[in-house]
């Protein structure tokens, strides 16, 4: 096989006036970023460094090209979770967006680390979503419905169908989080001229 051996774990398609993009935060993450066995079955100790979560430069460049070249009126990006997040196991959406590869700041939220950690990359994922006018980022992982807006991008945490209880109970309304609902349920999206 020639090329980058794309395993079809990130891809995009256009349907009508909407671009749908699926990205993968796992394939290029070569070091276990979280300590312990939270995800189950990982024997490595883990680094505890959220910067280890990565799209990898190949996937990042593909994402940039895909978003920049699209003329779609609506752009939707989907992933299990972002890279970075509010803790080592990548929790929350808009609240976790300022950190690491996604937003550029170290875990302390005060030190800019993106340029030294991602030399040669155009911008953070967050900035790329803003510049290319992404409408919404859909993610799971938190098992709780949360509707958030940051930088005019919707961060939609999807409820977990079949999951009993209230997910991991990570979200509360306020700030960028506009609506929180208990799991389990499903999500249906419709388009309107504005987000609210």
Check: CB of residue 34 under 8 Å from CB of residue 89: yes
Please indicate, yes or no, if residue 3 is contained in any of the structural domains.
Answer: no
Give the model confidence (pLDDT) of 167-194 as tens digits: 666 777 888 988 888 766 677 787 766 5
Give the model confidence (pLDDT) of 3-47 as tens digits: 555 567 899 999 999 999 999 998 998 888 887 776 666 677 788
Task: Pick the more confident residue, 113 or 46.
Answer: 113
Look at the chain and report how many structural domains it folds into: 1
Please indicate, yes or no, if residue 188 is contained in any of the structural domains.
Answer: no
Please indicate, yes or no, if residue 71 is contained in any of the structural domains.
Answer: yes
Please indicate, yes or no, if residue 78 is contained in any of the structural domains.
Answer: yes
Please indicate, yes or no, if residue 194 is contained in any of the structural domains.
Answer: no
Please indicate, yes or no, if residue 192 is contained in any of the structural domains.
Answer: no
| CATH number for 72 | 3.30.750.180
Q: Tell me whether residue 116 is exposed, middle or buried, using C-beta atoms within 10 angstroms of its C-beta: 0 to 12, 13 to 18, 19 or more.
A: exposed
pLDDT at 196 over 50: no
> What is the mean predicted confidence (pLDDT) over 152-176?
78
> Which residue range(s) make up the domain with 91?
11-181
Q: How far apart are CA 161 and CA 191, in angstroms?
A: 22
pTM of the predicted protein model:
0.89
């Amino acid at each position: 096989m020639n090329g980058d051996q794309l395993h079809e774990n990130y891809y995009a398609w256009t349907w009508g006036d909407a671009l749908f993009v699926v990205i993968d935060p796992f394939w290029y993450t070569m070091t276990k970023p979280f300590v312990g066995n939270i995800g189950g079955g990982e024997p490595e100790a883990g680094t505890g460094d959220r910067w280890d979560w990565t799209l990898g430069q190949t996937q990042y460049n593909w994402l940039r090209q895909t978003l920049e070249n699209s003329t779609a009126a609506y752009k939707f990006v989907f992933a299990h979770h972002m890279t970075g997040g509010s803790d080592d196991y990548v929790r929350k959406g808009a609240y976790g967006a300022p950190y690491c590869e996604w937003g550029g700041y170290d875990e302390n939220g005060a030190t800019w680390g993106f340029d030294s950690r991602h030399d040669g990359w155009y911008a953070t994922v967050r900035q790329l979503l803003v510049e290319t006018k992404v409408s919404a980022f859909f993610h799971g992982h938190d098992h709780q419905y949360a509707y958030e807006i940051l930088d005019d991008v919707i961060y939609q945490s999807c409820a977990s169908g079949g999951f009993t209880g209230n997910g991991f109970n990570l979200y509360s309304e306020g700030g960028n989080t506009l609506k929180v609902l208990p799991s389990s349920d499903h999500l249906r999206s419709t388009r309107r001229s504005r987000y609210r």
